[in-house]
Amino acid sequence: MRNTKYDKIADHHKAKENRLGHFLAAFLSGGVVGALGEGTIEILCFFFSLSRSDASVFMITLFIFLACLLTAFGYFDKMVHFCRCGLIIPITGFAHSMMSSTLDYKEEGLIYGIGSNMFKLAGSVILYGVVSAWFFGLIRYVLEVVFG
């Protein structure tokens, strides 16, 4: 049952959040991750004579590997603590969610542990990512048909 008298008093003692600080941290760290990604692509294109699309695939794979490695060594969650969503929104966050689930359930075995829990957090991202990609593809197709 809701108690308005209680809610009023509880609202007095709400924790303060440093939203601006979090926003800036995420903005800067997200930018740094993006710049590192772009730098990696440039390096791969320049030194290994890869096409831009091939280089971006290698860059993404490299970032996924690094995020998984840092998660396994226990550093990634501490980095997220400072960088906030700057590390969660890029592909590093996706890799981190899968790796952390895998680590937690490894003792339950390959099937009931890792297999059934790996996508615990990432499953929603994949499902709604695919569904929204389909819709955006449809919108783009319609726009192309209409406006040539």
Partner 1 sequence: MTFSFQDVYIEDTATICGPYEKRGPFKKYFDKTYDDFSFGERSWEKAEIHLVKDALHMILKKTGYTKEEIDLVIGGDLLNQITASTYGSLGVGNGFIGIYGACSTSALGLIVASCLLQANYFQNSLCLVSSHNMSSEKQFRYPTEYGSLRPNSATFTATGAAVCMLTKNKRDVRIECATLGRIVDFDQKDVNDMGRVMAPSVLDTLTRHFEESGRTPQDYDLIVTGDLGIYGKEIVREYFLKNYQITLDHYDDCGVMLYHLASEKEIQAGGSGPVCSALVTYGYLYSLLKEKKMKRILLLATGALFSPVMVYQKQSIPSICHAVSLEAV
Residue ranges in contact with partner 1 by CB under 8 A: 1-3, 5-7, 9-10, 12-17, 71-72, 74, 76-81, 84-85, 87-88, 96-97, 99-101, 103-105, 107, 120-121
CB 36 → partner 1: shortest distance, Å?
18
3: tokens are 């108690």
Whole-number minimum distance, CB 107 to partner 1, in Å?
4
Burial per residue of 122-143, b for 16 or more beta-carbon CB atoms within 10 angstroms, e otherwise = beeeeeeeeeeeeeeeeeeeee
Residue 38: CB atoms within 10 Å = 12
What's the min distance (Å) between Cβ of 10 and partner 1? Answer: 5
Closest to partner 1 by CB, 18 or 49: 18
For partner 1, which is the closer residue by CB, 50 or 103? 103
Between 63 and 71, name the residue whose CB sits nearer to partner 1.
71
Q: Which two tokens stand for residue 86?
A: 């700057």
CA distance 5 to 48: 68
